[in-house]
Amino acid sequence: MSLVGNLVVVFLAGLATALATGLGALPFFLVDDVSDRWNVALWGVASGIMISASIFGLLNEGLAASEGFPTILLAGVVVGVLLVLVADNLLDRVDVAKYADDGPEQATDGGAVEEVPKHEDAGHDHEEDSEHDHDHAELVHPTVVAEGDIKTLVLVLGILTVHSFPEGVAIGVSFADMGLAGGIGLLGLTVPVLAIMMTVAISIHNIPEGLAISIPLRAMGVGGWRMVGAAVFSSLPQPIGAVIAFAFVRYARDFLPFGFGFAAGAMVFLVLSEFIPDALKAGEQLESKGYPELAVGLVAGFAVMVPFAFM
């Protein structure tokens, strides 16, 4: 297949994971609320899937592609962790929640925008805003995504690119061996098992992220399809990152272990520093504080990806 054809396939895989984020809003077409217990469990499943996919998929492939001591792989892991830390720092500095809460005085793009009304019942504690929680579902205020103008959305997408890029990189790197021996025949293509594994893993992981974005939107009275659109918008950087990463590692094969390590390090660190704390935060009102639900979710998510390791 030509380079353009390969890039289209990788882009579509990344787009599929972005669209999966919209599935997080679908429960609100049927019910008015999602219990904290289920929310914690979903975050646990997503976290288990990401850790399992990183260990059995990315790190395993990275070791196989390394010669001798995996120096390049380990360097990639370190850089992946550093990228997440830098992304968190940038999100601390550019707090889009203030942009939504305080009106046009807080505009960071230099343009005037209409003031977004405040909603006290939106499930968004303004005192907590000052603590700069790191997940983009909180920092990128959902109202901005659902109702903002073009300039606002460009600003939000720029911030989300920094946060979502590692997930897109994981998809792109996993497709590096597309068309080569050892893959699975799918729609006339030879797709690496790792590519299927990562696309499924990140798609499932994106569902609770979409739910996290949709919960405050529901409280604000935003319509169902607007919630779906806002959720998908938050993951649009993933297909872009996937294409960039695929093109790089496909034609710079010596850096393939680095790419695997980068994606694995970033994703595992995201799970430990953001997803698990987010899960426990969602369950802090439960009698169990959410620990049993999180544990069950982690085990279930981890187990889901194990069969892929033996394909």
Across 249-271, average pLDDT: 89
* Chain Cα centroid distance, residue 120: 28
Residue of 242, 241, 234 whose CA lies nearest to 153: 234
Q: Give the pLDDT of residue 103.
A: 44
pLDDT at residue number 113: 37
Which carries the bigger pLDDT value, residue 155 or residue 79? Answer: 79
pLDDT tens digits, one per residue of 165-196: 788 999 999 998 886 656 777 667 778 888 98
**Torsion sign across C-alpha atoms 19, 25, 27, 30:** negative
Query: To the nearest 10°, the Cα dihedral for 281, 284, 285, 291?
Result: 120
Q: What is the pLDDT of residues 272-286, one digit of tens each?
A: 988 898 889 889 989
Mean pLDDT across 219-246: 86
Averaged pLDDT, 98-107: 46
Q: Which of 125, 105, 123 is nearest to 115 (CA)?
A: 105
For 189, phi then psi, to 5°, come to: -115, 155
* Contact (Cβ atoms closer than 8 angstroms) between residue 243 and residue 7: yes
Of residues 308 and 156, the one with the higher pLDDT is 308
Q: For the residues 154-164, what does the mean pLDDT come to? A: 62
| pLDDT at 132 exceeding the cut of 70 | no
Q: What percent of the chain has pLDDT over 90?
A: 29
Closest by CA to 241, choosing from 154, 164, 189, 140, is 164
The pLDDT score that the predictor gives to residue 87 is 75
pTM for the model stands at: 0.74
More confident residue, 138 or 195: 195
Mean of the pLDDT values across residues 101-121?
41
What gap in Å lies between CA 206 and CA 114, rounded to an integer? Answer: 30
Digit-coded pLDDT (tens) for 28-52: 888 888 888 888 998 899 899 999 9
For the chain, the structural domain boundaries read 3-309
Q: Which residue has the higher pLDDT, 128 or 84?
A: 84
Q: 109-123, 213-227, 238-252 — which is least confidently predicted? A: 109-123
Q: Report the range of poorest mean pLDDT among 6-10, 130-134, 212-216, 288-292.
A: 130-134
Per-residue pLDDT at 126 exceeds 50 = no
Q: Grade residue 106 by pLDDT with cuts at 50, 70 and 90.
A: very low
pLDDT of residue 153: 56
Residue 208: both structure tokens together: 């609770």
What is the chain's percent helix, strand, coil content, to nearest 5? Answer: 75, 0, 25
* The pair of three-digit structure tokens given for residue 118, joined into one six-digit string: 């405040």
